[in-house]
C-alpha cells in the first residue's frame, strides 16, 4: 500500500489540479506526487431564486479544487447527475421542482459510480475522495464504494458538513448560500428574492438573507481543514 502524508505544500499551489486541463505529462506527475482522485457529485436543480441551478456540483467541485491546491491530487470535472428523493415531475404538486433535470435511477447511479471508480483505479489512483454536494448522492456513493472494501484502495465519501464539527447542511439556506458566496460569488444574488411572495420556494434551512461571504469563508476553511485531516487518518 502506498503511504501518503497529506501535508500542505507550496509546490502544488501553482500547478494544475483539474484533470480536464492537464496534458498527459502533467497528469503523470500529479498522480506520482499524490495518487488521489477527487470527484464532486451533485445535481441540476432549483436552489431558490437567488442561486444558480448548478450549486450542488459547483460548490463541491470548488471545495475539492481548493483541497487539491493545498495537498495535491487530481480533481475530476463535476458530476451534475444524481439521485432525486422526490423524482415526481408533476410541477403542479411540487412547484419547487420546476427546473430540475438531473435524476438517475438509484441502481443506475450506483453502477455509473462503480464504473467510474474502476477506471480511476485502473489508471493508478490509490485514493478516491467523493464529495456529495447533493446530499442524497452520498448514500449511493457509499454503496458503490463497498464493492472495493476488500482491496487496498481507499474510497472516502461524504458531504461538506461531515467535515465540520456540529454542522449540518441545508438546501439553499444560509449554509449553502454562504458557501456559494465564498466559492462562486457571481452566481449568487440575494436581491432576486425581493418582492417575491414565495421568496423561500425551494429553500430548506435558515433564511438565506442571513448568508454572508464571511461566514461562507469561515466554514469553507473548516471544511478544507476537515477533509485534509480525514485524508491523513484514512490513508496511511
pLDDT in tens, 83-137: 988 777 677 777 778 888 889 999 999 999 999 999 999 999 999 999 999 999 9
142 Cβ neighbours under 8 A, 6+ residues apart: 157
Range of the domain at 57: 10-234
pLDDT at 231 over 60: yes
Residue 17 lies in a domain: yes
Tell me whether residue 2 is in a domain. no
pLDDT tier at 5, thresholds 50, 70, 90 = very low
Residue 5 in domain: no
Kindly report, residue by residue over 12-62, the tens digit of the pLDDT.
Answer: 445 899 999 999 999 999 999 999 999 999 999 999 999 999 999 999 999
Residue 205 resides in a domain? yes
Which CATH number characterizes residue 167's domain?
3.40.50.10310
Q: From residue 102, how far is each of 22, 80, 118, 185, 199 by CA, in Å? A: 27, 7, 23, 23, 23
Write down how long the chain is. 236
Q: Is 3 among the domain residues?
A: no
Q: Which three cell numbers stand for residue 6?
A: 497529506
pLDDT of residue 233: 85
pLDDT over 90 (residue 160):
yes
Average pLDDT score over residue span 163-170? 94
Report if residue 178 sits inside a domain. Answer: yes
How many domains, in total, are found in the chain?
1
The verdict on residue 1 lying in a domain is: no
Q: For the range 188-192, what are the long-range contacts, defined as Cβ-Cβ under 8 Å and sequence gap of 24 or more?
A: 188/50, 188/51, 188/52, 189/50, 190/50, 191/50, 192/49, 192/50
Q: Confidence class of residue 235 from pLDDT cuts 50, 70 and 90?
A: low
Note whether residue 105 is domain-resident.
yes
Amino acid 236: pLDDT: 58
The predicted structure's pLDDT at residue 6 = 47
Q: What is the pLDDT of residue 2?
A: 37
Separation of alpha carbons 201 and 217, rounded Å: 25
By C-alpha distance, which of 44, 73, 75, 38 is closest to 57?
44
183-219: pLDDT as tens digits: 999 999 999 999 999 999 999 999 999 999 999 999 9
Asked if residues 131 and 65 have their Cβ atoms less than 8 Å apart, the reply is: no
Residue 7 pLDDT > 70, yes or no? no
pLDDT band at residue 4 under the 50/70/90 scheme: very low
At 45 the pLDDT is: 93
> CB–CB of 224/216 below 8 Å?
no
Amino acid at each position: 500500500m502506498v503511504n501518503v502524508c497529506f501535508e500542505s505544500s507550496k509546490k502544488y499551489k501553482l500547478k494544475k489540479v483539474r484533470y480536464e486541463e492537464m496534458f498527459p505529462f502533467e497528469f503523470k506527475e500529479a498522480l506520482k506526487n499524490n495518487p488521489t482522485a477527487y470527484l464532486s457529485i451533485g445535481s441540476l436543480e432549483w436552489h431558490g431564486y437567488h442561486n444558480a441551478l448548478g450549486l450542488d456540483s459547483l460548490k463541491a467541485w470548488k471545495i475539492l479544487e481548493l483541497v487539491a491546491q493545498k495537498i495535491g491530487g487530481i480533481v475530476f470535472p463535476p458530476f451534475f447527475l444524481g439521485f432525486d428523493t422526490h423524482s415526481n415531475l408533476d410541477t403542479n404538486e411540487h412547484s419547487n421542482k420546476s427546473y430540475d433535470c438531473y435524476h438517475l435511477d438509484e441502481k443506475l447511479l450506483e453502477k455509473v459510480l462503480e464504473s467510474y471508480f474502476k477506471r480511476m483505479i485502473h489508471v493508478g489512483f490509490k485514493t478516491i475522495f467523493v464529495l456529495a454536494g447533493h446530499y442524497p448522492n452520498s448514500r449511493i456513493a457509499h454503496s458503490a464504494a463497498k464493492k472495493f472494501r476488500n482491496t487496498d484502495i481507499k474510497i472516502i465519501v461524504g458531504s461538506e458538513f461531515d467535515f465540520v464539527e456540529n454542522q449540518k447542511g441545508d438546501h439553499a439556506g444560509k449554509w449553502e448560500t454562504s458557501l456559494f458566496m465564498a466559492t462562486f460569488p457571481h452566481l449568487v444574488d440575494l436581491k432576486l428574492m425581493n418582492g417575491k411572495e414565495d421568496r423561500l420556494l425551494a429553500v430548506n434551512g435558515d433564511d438565506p438573507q442571513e448568508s454572508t461571504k464571511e461566514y461562507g469563508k469561515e466554514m469553507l476553511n473548516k471544511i478544507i481543514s476537515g477533509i485534509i485531516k480525514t485524508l491523513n487518518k484514512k490513508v496511511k
